[in-house]
Each structure stands twice: as C-alpha cells, then as structure tokens.
C-alpha cells in the first residue's frame, strides 16, 4: 500500500527535515513507501551538480523578496519552488522494486507525462536532460533525486499555476536556452493543485502498486 502524506504549504527546510526522518525509518524497517505531496513558499535550491553562478539575483535582493537559498543533497542543478507548484517526494524502498535509480527517474517522468495528459497536454523528454517538457522547449516538471541505502528522497516539482516570473531569478536547472511553463499557462485557465494531487496519487498508485502489495 502506498502511504500518502499531504503536507500542504510547508517551509522548505522543515519539509527536508521531515523527509530525512521518514527516509531513516524506511532504511531501518523497510516496511513503508511514502509519497509526500506539498507546496513550498518561494525558495531556490541548489543540487549537487549546481552552483550559485546560476542564481541571477543577489542574495540581498532575494532576501528582500523573502526568497531563501538552500543547498541540498539531491541530484541536479538550481531550481525554484513556489506556491501553486506541486512538489512530490516519493520516499520509496527501491530494494522492493528495482535497485536502479535511472529506472526510477524514468518511471517518475512517465507518471508526470500521464498526469499532465489529463489536461490535454503532451509531455515529452529532451535527450540528455531530466524532467518533462512541452514541445521540447518549455519545462513543465523538474526532477532531482537522492538515494541512500536504496531509499529515495527529494523528487519532482510540477508547475501547476505558480508564478513563473520568479524563475527569472535563476537559470533553471542550468539550462539557458529553454523556458519554463505550467499547466495553467499552457491551457489558459486556472488549475487547482488539490485536483492535481488527486490525479497524482492515483497515477503513482497504479504505476507502483504492484510493488506495494508484496
């Protein structure tokens, strides 16, 4: 059974601390698979492959806007989270599925492609890059994972109806020649993250359910 936790709007560092607690418990007991869904106040995170050179605004300017910067242990470069972006943390025991982080990342991409198809959007991949794109030019979902003792943490960020202007503070994922978009931006109407959470839960249960029943 997939355990769903909805944390609502939660400050990034508090969410990261909670992730670590769940991950530690799963590493010890190997008896849970948890999908966390949440949103974060505006925050820029820097993954293991990133650097502050991809943050285009000064820390002082960002502080004045209330945008924090957090260096974390996920893969990937610089990204941004803000309200009305759906963030998902699949904290899974990969030993009960497949000990292959590349496979797991591709499975998450497939879930995201299926999620946005509910709004008539065709998501695709760009060779050599992670995440989900529209027309190969506009990124609608980012993915950055961490794995320790075959327990995954961190996860995906799907732009639903968030403020895309804030992405101008960074070079998203270190990619300067492509843009960002959201479900609302693409379909021209507001989308509620609560609706996206329901669909996301069903799709993750369907894709990974065969492992949870073991």
**Would you say residue 100 lies in a domain?**
yes
CATH, residue 92 = 3.30.930.10
The pair phi, psi for residue 144, each rounded to 5°, is: -150, 120
Q: Give the pLDDT of residue 214.
A: 45
> 11-41: per-residue pLDDT in tens?
999 999 999 999 999 999 988 999 999 999 9
pTM tops 0.85, yes or no: yes
**Would you say residue 106 lies in a domain?**
yes
Average pLDDT over residues 135-144: 94
Please count the structural domains in the chain: 1
> 141-174: per-residue pLDDT in tens?
999 999 999 999 999 999 999 999 999 988 776 6
Q: Is the predicted pLDDT of residue 194 greater than 80, yes or no?
A: yes
Q: Give the pLDDT of residue 213.
A: 56
Q: Give the pLDDT of residue 175.
A: 66
**Would you say residue 204 lies in a domain?**
yes
**Would you say residue 29 lies in a domain?**
yes
The pair phi, psi for residue 119, each rounded to 5°, is: -110, 20
- CA-to-CA distance for 85 and 160, rounded, in angstroms? 5
Query: What are the residues whose beta carbons fall under 8 Å from the beta carbon of 46, sequence distance 6 or more?
Result: 52, 54, 55, 69, 70, 71, 72, 77, 78
**Would you say residue 214 lies in a domain?**
no
Q: Do residues 69 and 62 lie in contact, with contact meaning Cβ atoms separated by under 8 Å?
A: yes
- CA-to-CA distance for 104 and 107, rounded, in angstroms? 5
Highest mean pLDDT among 64-68, 113-117, 126-130: 113-117
The pair phi, psi for residue 76, each rounded to 5°, is: 95, -175
Average pLDDT over residues 88-114: 96
Average pLDDT over residues 97-112: 96
Q: Give the pLDDT of residue 174.
A: 67
Please state, for a pLDDT cut of 70, what percent of the chain lies above it: 96
**Would you say residue 81 lies in a domain?**
yes
The residue range of the domain holding 145 is 3-209
Report the catalytic residues: 173
Q: Give the pLDDT of residue 85.
A: 98
> pLDDT band at 197, cuts 50/70/90?
very high
């Amino acid at each position: 059974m997939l355990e769903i936790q909805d944390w609502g709007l939660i400050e990034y560092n508090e969410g990261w601390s909670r992730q670590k607690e769940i991950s530690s418990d799963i590493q010890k007991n190997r008896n849970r698979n948890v999908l966390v869904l949440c949103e974060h106040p505006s925050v820029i995170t820097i993954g293991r492959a990133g650097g502050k050179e991809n943050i285009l605004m000064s820390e002082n300017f960002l502080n004045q806007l209330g945008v924090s910067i957090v260096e974390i242990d996920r893969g990937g470069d610089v990204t941004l989270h803000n309200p009305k972006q759906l963030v998902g943390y699949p904290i899974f025991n990969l030993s009960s599925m497949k000990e292959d982080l590349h496979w797991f990342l591709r499975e998450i991409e497939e879930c995201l492609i299926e999620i946005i198809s509910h709004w008539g959007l065709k998501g695709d991949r760009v060779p050599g890059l992670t995440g989900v794109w529209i027309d190969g030019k506009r990124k609608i979902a980012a993915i950055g994972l961490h794995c320790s003792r075959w327990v995954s943490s961190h996860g995906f960020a799907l732009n639903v109806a968030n403020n895309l202007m804030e992405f101008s503070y960074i070079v998203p994922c270190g990619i300067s020649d492509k843009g960002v978009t959201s479900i609302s931006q693409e379909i021209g109407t507001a989308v509620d993250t609560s609706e996206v959470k329901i669909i996301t839960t069903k799709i993750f249960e369907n894709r990974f359910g065969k492992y949870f029943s073991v």
